Amino acid sequence: MAVSPVDPTHKDLPASIIADALPEQVPEVSGLIGRLADKVSPVFAFGFIFAMGILIFEIFMRHVFNSPTLWVHETTTFLSAIGFVFGGLYCAARDKHIRVVIFYDIVGPKMRKALDVGISIVCMTASGFFAWAAWLMVKRATFTPTGDIHFETTGSAFNAPYPGILKLFLLVILILLVVQFLVQAINYARKAPVMPATGKE
């Protein structure tokens, strides 16, 4: 068999291409909370797979045995919802949240550092307001007027407490987002300015 002229070890590839092929790491600025969010993320990813599995089960039960379930539709909606809610914290931990970079990409390293700190503070503040709004929802969804704990239910024949659990989960994620953005703001402020093009300090 002829030896390929291409170097199989790929030693001549640019460092940027090699870095893109490696598993993406959580940025240092995200700290411990970012690493923890990354560690638990597979649980929510498998939640989407489980939701797909029980949907297939529902189709089979409905169209083969003419015996539709009461719980599949609400459960898949719940699993998808908590996955999407957790996705906000995951994106923040990976520093992959949506941002407008029209100015960010053309400024120097010192201004870029200031923007990183400013963006983190703005995101932290917005998350704080949303957390407060979520708390107002949670109070109505988890407590009766007499103060007893009772989770809001779907009101269907299955009547699962998914709405109350989802609202409580949203509150927890928003609080974690506030902490995450605070950690990032502090770490960006401590970090040396980075050159936009090269990524070198």
Candidates 95, 96, 88, 97; CA nearest to 41 is: 88
Burial class (CB in 10 A: 0-12, 13-18, 19+), 170: buried
Binned at pLDDT 50, 70 and 90, residue 106 comes out as: confident
The confidence score (pLDDT) of residue 4 equals 53
Whole-number Å distance between alpha carbons of 147 and 98: 40
Q: Output the pLDDT for position 11.
A: 60
For residues 44 and 86, is the Cβ–Cβ distance under 8 A? Answer: yes
Q: At 149, is the secondary structure helix, strand, or coil?
A: strand
Calculate mean pLDDT across residues 100-110: 82
CB distance 163 to 75 below 8 Å: no
Instruction: Provide mean pLDDT across the span 173-199.
Output: 83
Q: What would the pLDDT profile of 148-168 be if each residue is shown by its tens digit? A: 888 899 988 899 999 999 999
Q: Are 127 and 133 in contact (CB under 8 A)?
A: no
pLDDT of amino acid 107: 85
| Res. 20 pLDDT band, cuts 50 70 90 | low
**Cα gap 201→186, rounded to integer Å:** 18
> Is pLDDT of 198 > 50?
no
- Percent of the chain past pLDDT 70, that is, above it, reads 85
Average pLDDT score, the chain: 85
**pLDDT 10s digits, 29-53:** 888 999 999 999 999 999 999 999 9
Provide, rounded to the nearest whole percent, the portion of the chain with pLDDT above 90: 53
